[in-house]
């Protein structure tokens, strides 16, 4: 793929913030874009200034939510080079989401190449550890037509920006509310695709949970309302004793997380027994109360490893591990981020390194 690059001059580029990055509020100077039309397929690949996109108010994405996205990160290594973590997983999942949403696939090599070129151009936006650069590819339906059918035209774009911690708690236990009122996704629906509608469906429950003092919602399956699925922005794992990690099996309505897959592998290689199971919420909460579950943590690109300190369910509180971060979560956090930031060996070949010509991190930490 030939990418036409229209870059801003040095003086037009924005200053890179060095503190209080938060999550997803700051974006770099440039944006990748390409267009799909039935006659030409994907074409017009450009990296240009980060600026608003102009669409017909009738564009299908606004009315029927035909949209997909991805989320991955680039990490600044100790040598100043930039590490992508398992990027092929995200390229593949993007296309799996595209298929589910009746959208055209993109060439995975081209997609990754676009991301690499964008990061190379905006490399000063990759912050020093423990902050990272968030990579957000998306595809939206652009046909201006109100009939309900798959759009004939699409826009694929990638934006990037430095991020700190996803949660205001940082690496401290978060409170999670288990919703028995709303459902996020259903088998046969779009739960395992990374599409905006799943997140839209979660917002009211998340707001109600936030008003009750919780950071996230744990979703239960839509058929029985008993099986633990995943949390709003991450998969979830339960630690039994100090040896056994259990995570919900991929049911068809859960996002198959790259971090989840990595935790399963890392956990096994660190000597834990790791299993993927159907987890009944009542049994899980009884195990928390009895202390059989010793730790709970979420895992995701944005969330990294996020310890859960307490659950709220049907007006009752269930405290996990005295609301403290436990050793298994800590160890997995250290191992995972060690590989991502290049401070530990990567025996799996998970890291794709971008060698840069400005090796020192420009932006500071959060
Ligand atoms: N589940 C949901 C709903 C998510 O939004 C995410 C984040 O991407 C995850 C799980 C974790 O997926 P990953 O580890 O690929 O980031
Ligand atoms: C991610 O972890 O990359 C996500 O997409 C989660 C959330 C910010 C939607």
Residues having CB within 6 Å of any atom of ligand 2 = 71, 233, 300-302
Please list the residue range(s) of the chain that carry CATH number 3.30.470.10. Answer: 4-164
The confidence score (pLDDT) of residue 37 equals 98
CA of 260 relative to ligand 2 center, distance in Å: 13
CA of 40 relative to ligand 2 center, distance in Å: 32
Share of the chain above pLDDT 90, in %: 93
Residue 364 has pLDDT above 50, yes or no: no
CA of 23 relative to ligand 2 center, distance in Å: 10
Q: Which residues of 188-223 are buried (b: 16+ CB within 10 A; e: fewer)?
A: ebbbbbbbbbbeebbeebbeebeeeebbbbbbbbbe
pLDDT digits (tens, 9 = 90+) for 43-58: 999 999 999 999 999 9
The confidence score (pLDDT) of residue 363 equals 46
Please list the residue range(s) of the chain that carry CATH number 3.20.10.10. Answer: 174-341
> Closest-lying ligand to the alpha carbon of 255?
1
For the chain, state the CA radius of gyration: 21
Instruction: Among 255, 260, 337, say which to mutate for ligand 1: greatest number of ligand atoms within 8 Å of CB.
Output: 255
The confidence score (pLDDT) of residue 20 equals 86
User: Rounded to the nearest 10 degrees, what angle do helices 258-269 and 327-341 cross at?
Assistant: 110
pLDDT digits (tens, 9 = 90+) for 316-328: 999 999 999 999 9
CA of 337 relative to ligand 1 center, distance in Å: 16
CATH number for 174-341 (one of 3.30.365.10, 3.30.720.110, 3.20.10.10, 3.40.50.1010): it is 3.20.10.10
Q: What are the structure tokens assigned to 160, written together?
A: 């990037």
Topology of domain 4-164, per CATH?
D-amino Acid Aminotransferase; Chain A, domain 1 (3.30.470)
At 126, phi and psi to the nearest 5? -80, 115
Residue 329 has pLDDT above 50, yes or no: yes
Residue 230 has pLDDT above 70, yes or no: yes
DSSP annotation of 17: P
The confidence score (pLDDT) of residue 358 equals 65
Nearest CA to ligand 1 atom 9: 234
Nearest CA to ligand 1 atom 10: 234
Q: Structure pTM? A: 0.96
What atom in ligand 1 is closest to the CA of residue 93? 15
């Amino acid at each position: 793929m030939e990418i036409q690059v229209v870059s801003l001059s040095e003086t037009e580029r924005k200053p890179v913030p060095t503190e209080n990055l938060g999550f997803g509020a700051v974006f770099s100077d440039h944006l990748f874009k390409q267009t799909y039309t039935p006659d030409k397929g994907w074409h017009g690949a450009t990296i240009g200034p980060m600026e608003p996109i102009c669409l017909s108010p009738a564009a299908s994405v606004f009315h029927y939510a035909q949209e997909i996205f991805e989320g991955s990160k680039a990490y600044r290594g100790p040598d100043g080079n930039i590490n992508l973590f398992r990027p092929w997983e995200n390229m593949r999942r993007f296309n799996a989401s595209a298929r589910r949403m009746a959208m055209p696939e993109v060439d995975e090599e081209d997609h990754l190449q676009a991301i690499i070129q964008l990061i190379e151009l905006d490399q000063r936006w990759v912050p020093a550890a423990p902050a990272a650069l968030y990579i957000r590819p998306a595809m939206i339906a652009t046909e201006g037509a109100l009939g309900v059918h798959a759009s004939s035209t699409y826009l694929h774009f990638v934006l990037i920006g430095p991020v700190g911690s996803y949660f205001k708690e940082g690496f401290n236990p978060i409170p999670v509310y288990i919703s028995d009122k709303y459902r996020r996704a259903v088998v046969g629906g779009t739960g395992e695709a990374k599409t905006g509608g799943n997140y839209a469906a979660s917002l009211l429950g998340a707001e109600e949970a936030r008003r009750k003092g919780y950071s996230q919602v744990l979703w239960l399956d839509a058929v029985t309302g008993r099986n633990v699925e995943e949390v709003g922005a991450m998969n979830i794992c339960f630690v039994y004793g100090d040896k056994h990690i259990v995570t919900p099996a991929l049911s068809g309505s859960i996002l198959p997380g790259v971090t989840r897959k990595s935790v399963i592998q890392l956990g096994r290689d660190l000597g834990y027994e790791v299993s993927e199971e159907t987890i009944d919420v009542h049994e899980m909460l009884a195990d928390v109360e009895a202390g059989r579950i010793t730790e709970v943590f979420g895992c995701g690109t944005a969330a990294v490893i996020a310890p859960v300190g307490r659950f709220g369910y049907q007006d009752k509180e269930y405290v996990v591990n005295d609301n403290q971060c436990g050793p298994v979560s800590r160890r997995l956090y250290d191992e995972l981020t060690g590989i991502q930031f290049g401070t530990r060996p990567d025996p799996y070949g998970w890291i794709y390194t971008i060698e840069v010509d400005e090796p020192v991190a420009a932006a500071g930490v959060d």
